[in-house]
Chain A
Amino acid sequence: MRGGTIRSANGPMDATAQPESRAESPNVTVTVADATDLAEIIDLDARIAGYARADFWRDMFRQKATSATLCVVVAKSSGKIVGYVLGEIRSWPVRAPTCGWLYAIGVQKEHRQQKIATALMTELISRFKKNGVGAIRTMIDIDDHLLMSFLRSFGMTAGPFVELEMRVSQP
């Protein structure tokens, strides 16, 4: 696994780099998101997830404005966003080299089965690879078998870390 310094100048995490991945439908284009896409992404994400997380996306876009390692790619059909993927190259507190993190991926229900999520994921993996990332990680709901199955189809498996949590009582 290769960790260490992340290349960013002219690298594929650079927002100006053109996506190379294609969805099955010729009407769908995969492109790097810009600030004008934020509202549409928040709306689509809320419909897919079933709950709104506008603050999270606003924070991501704020970070993206100054980060060369945070990447949001969207799929558009007839100019409307029908899918998104969010990822970042970063280190984390656990003893492990810097890796690529998949934070979120989603496709509008009516546009599924068209390999749009595959195109988005392929694009993110490609960008990670070009930046020297040696591993990609994500964290998903243990009961989201469909998403887990999708990620496994790319070769993702259980990693060497386990998420633990506990409830803390409020005062």
Chain B
Amino acid sequence: MKLQQATRYAIWAVIELASRPNEQIRAQELAQTYQISQNHLVRILHALTKANIVSSARGPGGGFSFRGNAKRLTLYDIICLFETGWPNEEGQNLQAGNALANELGRVLHEVDRITSATLRSVTVHTIINNARRSSGSHPLSDALSKAS
């Protein structure tokens, strides 16, 4: 599955912020952790703020923090914010009426359905817990960087 860069950054940012509750984290730190463009990341964080997933605080000691429910927020929720025209129900876009097109549409719908079910059932909390399980004592960002 190919995600846009902004979507991947958004997922990283949300997971990093959610893994450090009660912390205000500056965009600069997040950008350095994942070695990504700070300007690009700030735009993404503002979009996440607008969606009430992240909150921001100005001034010294300010930064971004996670404000969603990590046990309920899924990858699907984040992806839908950044991927235009997603979920891309490719299987429903094919011309109906033709038996071959219908069958191809059914196959693509099968793929879409599995993808959707996976993304709808993986929460931010689960990602963090599984990363911690697999990385032992390593910081989360290390585990996620390795995974990416």
Contacts and interface: CB of A to CB of B under 8 A. Distances in A.
Interface of A: 142-143, 145, 148-149, 152-153, 155, 158
Contacts of A145: 74, 117, 120-121
Nearest to B122: A152
B27 to A, nearest CB: 30
Contact of A142 (B74, B117, B122): B117
B135 interface: no
Contacts of A158: 118
Given A142-B113, A142-B114, A152 B133 contact: no
Contacts of A142: 113-114, 117
Contacts, number: 30
B123 A153 contact: yes
B129 A153 contact: yes
Given A155-B130, A155-B133, A149 B117 contact: no
- Category for how many chain B residues contact A: 10 to 19
Interface string B128-144: 01100100000000000
Given A152-B126, A153-B126, A155-B130, A143 B121 contact: no
Given A143-B117, A158-B118, A149 B130 contact: no
Nearest to A151: B121
Given A142-B113, A155-B130, A149 B74 contact: yes
28 contacts: A142-B113, A142-B114, A142-B117, A143-B117, A145-B74, A145-B120, A145-B121, A148-B117, A148-B120, A148-B121, A149-B74, A149-B120, A149-B121, A149-B122, A149-B123, A152-B121, A152-B122, A152-B123, A152-B126, A153-B71, A153-B123, A153-B125, A153-B126, A153-B129, A155-B129, A155-B130, A155-B133, A158-B118
